Structure 1
Amino acid sequence: MDNLDIKLIELLQKNSRMTISTLSKELSLSRPSITERILRLQEKNIIEEFTARISLKNIGKNIILFVQLSSLKVSPKTFEQMVKKDGDILECHRVTGPINYFIKAAVNNMDDMSLLIDRLLPYGDINTSVVLKSPVSYRHVIPKNTNIK
C-alpha cells in the first residue's frame, strides 16, 4: 500500500459514492488505475464493504447503550447466535477479563431498553450504561503504515 492507496481510502471513507471519475481527478490518476487500486484493496480485504451510515436518532433509535455481560450462563456459540438475530444490537465483542461481552445497542425508548435487558438477562449478569454524549461517535481509519502488503 502506498500513499495513493491511503489517500484513496481516505476519500472513499468520506464518501463511498464518489465516482471513479471524481477519484481520478482528485488523485491525478487514470480511471483504470483507480479501478485497479480499489479492486486490489478489496481483494486484500482492506476495503471490506461499501456502505451508508445511518443516523440512529433520525430513525427513532434515541437511546444508545453499552451492556457488559459477565458470568455467561450458556455457551458462547449459543449466546452469539442469539445476539446476531437481535436487531437492537449494533455491535457485540467477546473480550478477555471478568467481562465476557461488550454490547453496543440502540433502542427507541426506555421501554425498549427494558425489553432488551430482559432478553439478555437469561444469558448472564448485566451491567448497562446509557450514552449521554458521544464526542467521537465514529472515526475514519487512515492507515499510517505504508508497508502493508
Structure 2
Amino acid sequence: MDSMDKKIIEILQENSRLTNKEIGAMIHLTGQAVGNRIIKLVENGIIRKFSVEIEYPKTQFIRVFMDRNNFSDFEQFVNSCEAVSSIYKVSGQACYMVIGHFLDDSLNEFIQEISKYGRYSVEAVVADKTSRNNMI
C-alpha cells in the first residue's frame, strides 16, 4: 500500500459515496486508476467492506465478566439485541466488550438479562472526541 492508496482510503472513509472519477480528480488520477486501486485494496483484504456510519443518540461500552462458561448462550442473547452494534470476546479482565446504543429503559432491561451471565460495567459516551468527527 503506497501513499496514493492511503489517500484513497482517507477519502473513502470521509465519503464512500464519491465516484472513482470524483476521487481521481481530488488526487490527480483517472477514475479507472482509482477503481483498479480500490479493487486491489479489497482483494488484499485492506478494505473489508463499505458501510454506513449511523449517528446514535447514545453509546455504551459494556464490559462483561462471565461467572460461568455458557458463552454460546450469552453470545446468542447479545447478538439478538437490536441495540447492540458489536460484541467482542476480549483478553484482559473482562470476557466480552459489548458496544450498544441503548436508550435508558432498554439499557436497564439489557443489564438485567446479562446479569444472569455474570458481572458487568457500563461506560456511557458523553462526547465523541475523534478528530475526524469534529471537523467542520
Cα distance between partner residues in 2 of 1:77 and 1:54: 28
Aligned to 2:90: 95
1:73–1:122: 8 Å Cα contact kept in structure 2? no
Deviation for aligned residue 1:39: 0.6
Deviation for aligned residue 1:66: 1.8
Decide which of 52, 71, 77 is 1:76's aligned counterpart.
Answer: 71
Give secondary structure in 1 for the equivalent of 2:116.
helix
**What is the alpha-carbon root mean square deviation over aligned residues?**
1.9
Aligned to 1:47: 47
Aligned to 1:67: 62
Aligned to 2:117: 123
Cα distance between partner residues in 2 of 1:15 and 1:69: 34
Deviation for aligned residue 1:138: 7.0
Identity value in percent: 26
CA separation of 1:41/1:56 partners in 2, compared to 1, >3 Å: closer, same or farther? same
CA separation of 1:128/1:138 partners in 2, compared to 1, >3 Å: closer, same or farther? farther
Write out per-residue CA displacement over residues 90-133 of structure 1, whole angstroms, 9 at most, x where no aligned residue: 2222122221112121112x211111101211111122222233
Aligned to 2:10: 10
Cα distance between partner residues in 2 of 1:13 and 1:72: 39
Cα distance between partner residues in 1 of 2:45 and 2:30: 23
Q: Which runs of 5+ in 2 are unaligned?
A: none
Write out per-residue CA displacement over residues 4-48 of structure 1, whole angstroms, 9 at most, x where no aligned residue: 111110111110001111112112112221111111111112111
Aligned to 2:127: 133
Q: TM-score, normalised by structure 2?
A: 0.86
Deviation for aligned residue 1:73: 2.2
2:64–2:94: 8 Å Cα contact kept in structure 1? yes
Deviation for aligned residue 1:78: 2.9
2:60–2:101: 8 Å Cα contact kept in structure 1? yes
Cα distance between partner residues in 1 of 2:72 and 2:109: 22
Q: TM-score, normalised by structure 1?
A: 0.79
Residue type at the aligned position of 1:127:
S
